[in-house]
Amino acid sequence: MYEETFVTRTPATTAPKRIVTRDRDVRAAVMKKVLSDHISDPRVLVMEELGLEHGTCRVDIAVINGLIHGYELKSDADTLIRLPQQVTVYSRTLDKATLVVGERHAKEAELLIPHWWGVKVSYAGPRGAVHIDSLRPASANPDISPYHVAHLLWRDEAIAILEPLGVDKKELRGGRTKLYALLAQLLPSNLLREHVREALMRRTKWRRPAQP
């Protein structure tokens, strides 16, 4: 009589399951581990969702002091589909930019960003905490567009800058894009950017992050 036998095999040891990072966790880690000193400094404005070019793109986190430094977050759970467009818009406006990218997308993302962008890689530790490693620091944007920087101004802010320059009142009644063009034409880039930073710092209704 045939007797069937079964052999129990011990499964091979496998690597622990990788924890996928998500936007809210990466954002919290950036606030706590990268930007905490800025958040606690009253001279620095740290804000979320800064709109560029009237909402064409929104910077995940912007730090404004002597320059405007934008942080774009791409967690493991995100895709890189929108990154090329974001790079184009960010690169017209920001003084510096840093991509904080999930480990899953790091190699691909590095091919999509300019050399002057900083890169930080986020990953989850074995207990789920998000860690952030720096791959390269951000450097100065070599090709800022003053016209697009001016888009950060509200209409009344743009007029307040133009009035002391002796601009005809008829021209001041023009549309926003006309005002932005005048600013780019009449002011040196560094002075226009200074005016824009000051205008942003004066606003009181930004959504500021809580101090970590």
CATH classification of 23-136, choosing from 3.40.1350, 1.10.1740, 3.30.110, 3.90.1010?
Answer: 3.40.1350
Quick one: pLDDT band at residue 2, thresholds 50, 70, 90? very low
Residue given tokens 């002391």 in the structure block: 164
C-alpha distance from residue 44 to each of 51, 80, 198 (Å): 18, 30, 11
Q: pLDDT above 70 covers what percent of the chain?
A: 87
Residues in the chain: 212
- Rounded-to-integer distance, Cα 97 and Cα 146, Å: 16
Return the amino acid letter for 68: I
Relative to beta strand 118-124, strand 96-102 is parallel
**For residue 55, is it left (φ>0), alpha (ψ between -120 and 50) or beta?**
left
Higher pLDDT, 209 or 12: 209
The pTM score is 0.86
Q: pLDDT, tens digit, for every residue of 54-109? A: 989 999 999 999 999 999 999 999 999 999 999 999 999 999 999 999 999 999 99
C-alpha distance from residue 83 to each of 60, 87, 113, 154, 185 (Å): 12, 6, 8, 26, 30
Q: How many CB atoms lie within 10 A of CB 194?
A: 14
**Residue 190 is encoded by which pair of tokens?**
């560094």
Cα 138 → chain centroid = 12
- Rounded-to-integer distance, Cα 50 and Cα 57, Å: 8
Mean pLDDT of 144-156: 97
DSSP-derived secondary structure letter, 109: H
Mean predicted lDDT score pLDDT of the chain: 89
Mean pLDDT of 142-158: 97
Domain ranges across the chain? 23-136, 146-202
C-alpha distance from residue 141 to each of 46, 54, 91, 117, 132 (Å): 20, 21, 7, 8, 23
- Rounded-to-integer distance, Cα 211 and Cα 122, Å: 21
